[in-house]
Structure 1
């Protein structure tokens, strides 16, 4: 063995030993963090009378819930289950249905339901940054929202259209929401039709639940044209499909009144999918929407089977991903 080879072997061994020495503590830290997260609460209360519907979780372990009663937003630590009301809302008649937080965790985008509002709220201060009113038509319900790099997209449950709010490079809203009619294979029902919305796995199109068409189906919507095609997901039907959560290629569809989540494994384009699982839990009390943190999925129980009062109790629950 030459001196150069011997020296190289020595340095390689030293590097390997150093890597092992570094890896061991890091592995221990990761294991400790995982063990700590396992102790995080699997359910936690929301304020009495809050009437939650939407949930969003950003890069930090905090969940944000929207209130159907007055549009308030409640922020909860996933580590402790304790929370506070971040945004007080605008009062009766100004709901927050769906909501999403941006990647920078600076803004919350709120769907205002029957108030026909789209609101943008400072995610740190809870103050309203923008409030767009008079969205859609008289019987419009701005229901759910998803964020893409260039826009926030909102569904309308009673009109065959989406609303696009453009975002600039910094994620700030630009201009006013634009109406995008749903065409192609979209079939508008006589009543409540569109509900949850998500991106396709490749990010090139949107997925929207149509609860009326053919017993409840998932549709793929071209963002440039509004043209919808029906996703081939076999015999699975989504009559109560509400919130959509995409994790990798798995789409979690919350079927609220059925107290279950159906999981569809999609191809990258979101044109085809296979039902791969169904999640039920005795703690489900009509969950509506879902958001993920680590290997858990969090859902608010909307309790649509009871009339909300100031003393009605509400909670959120956590389940494991498939």
Structure 2
């Protein structure tokens, strides 16, 4: 009964929110499942970035830091960048692309206690443009979004901070753009994670997964305020996807997807629905490519991951 009500709620909002093409549609010739290439010892995945212009997507591998690439029309993906120390990368988390097709990769704990890079920037051809350390000794860069200024904004799961990465005067640089210490309370587990830009481009909206809170970072001032999201449960919030006013929140180990209607300035988010996802998967981040949302099946629930390794367009429980 609850599942039926959730489905009806989703249908009811369809008249007012931007729609995604049916994830199981085959008329376009696009696959509903994309297969990732894993390692013999098992692979786990997390981030995904989509290049709408080129019709390609990138997936980050937590185990080893490899970056995989696929196209909207092909079910098979390929390893695009090697890991296991390539460019100092032993793990990778959030990933996104900018208008020039450049690929930004968050390193999670890659640099903690090692002196290795915390993030990387690559050209569409795979050329390393930058491998940078973020200011601080305990930085866990989790996810990344491109701001209206063209800079990349990375969340830090180990502190209430957002870092800005940009090409200034011919050189790539990373700065601590916002620090919400005193406003955002840190708790055990993963704090700031998924991040998107508000519809009016005035703010960033980030998820604090362990507490189930959405936060608004004003792009003009850096001021941080809590997004009013009503009484909807958002614990385990991981990836965020904004399409117009529709905000999709991927709740990884909660195995659920929450849908909210986000105000243009990102200050409020009206709950719309909560739908259970496939119980055999732990979905992490997601991106829109050619009208469909692509969800990463992380394999985080498996001690030793085993294939198939997949990106899926139909996340709902059956």
TM-score class, shorter: 0.7 to 0.9
Equivalent residue number for residue 252 of structure 2: 256
Instruction: Indicate if the aligned counterparts of 2:130 and 2:172 stay in contact, CA closer than 8 A.
Output: no
For residue 130 of structure 2, what is the aligned residue in structure 1? 130
Measure, in 1, the Cα distance between the counterparts of 2:123 and 2:275.
Answer: 34
Deviations, residues 27-86 of structure 1 (Å, cap 9, x unaligned): xxxxxxxx8753311112211233110011112322110111122111112212122111
Q: CA deviation at 1:223?
A: 2.9
Distance 1:37 1:281, change over 3 A: farther
User: How do 1:1-322 and structure 2 match up within 5 A?
Assistant: 38-48=28-38, 49-59=42-52, 60-91=54-85, 94-105=90-101, 107-116=102-111, 117-124=118-125, 126-133=126-133, 135-150=134-149, 151-167=151-167, 174-183=172-181, 185-212=183-210, 215-282=211-278, 285-309=281-305, 311-319=306-314
Contact 2:251 2:284 in 1 (8 A): yes
Task: Give the 3 Å change call, closer, same or farther, for CA 318–173 of structure 1 in structure 2.
Answer: farther
CA distance in structure 2 between the partners assigned to 1:167 and 1:52 by the alignment: 28
Q: Distance in 2 between matches of 1:62 and 1:256?
A: 24
Q: Alpha carbons of 1:294 and 1:312: their partners in 2 closer, same or farther (altered >3 Å)?
A: closer
Please list every run of 5 or more consecutive structure 2 residues that lacks an aligned counterpart in the other structure. Answer: 1-24, 112-117
Q: Deviations over 1:68-125 (max 9, x none)?
A: 11221111122121221111135396211000011221x100001101311001222x
Q: Answer yes or no: is the 8 Å Cα contact 1:184–1:228 preserved in 2.
A: no
Distance 1:99 1:72 in 2: 12
Deviations 1:197-229 (A, max 9, x none): 1111111111011124xx411110123443211
Q: Residues 320, 282 of structure 1: CA spacing in aligned structure 2 closer, same or farther, 3 A cutoff?
A: closer
TM-score (normalised: structure 1): 0.79
> How many residues matched?
280
User: Which gives a bigger RCO, structure 1 or 2 (Cα 8 Å, sep 6+)?
Assistant: 2
TM-score by length of 2: 0.80
Give 2:14's aligned residue: none
Distance 2:131 2:199 in 1: 30
Q: CA 1:177 to 1:195, structure 2 compared with 1: closer, same or farther past 3 Å?
A: same
Is the contact between residue 183 and residue 227 of structure 1 (CA under 8 Å) also seen in structure 2?
no
Contact 1:184 1:229 in 2 (8 A): no
Give the structure with higher Rg (CA): 1
Q: Deviations over 1:213-261 (max 9, x none)?
A: xx41111012344321111111012110001111111111100012221
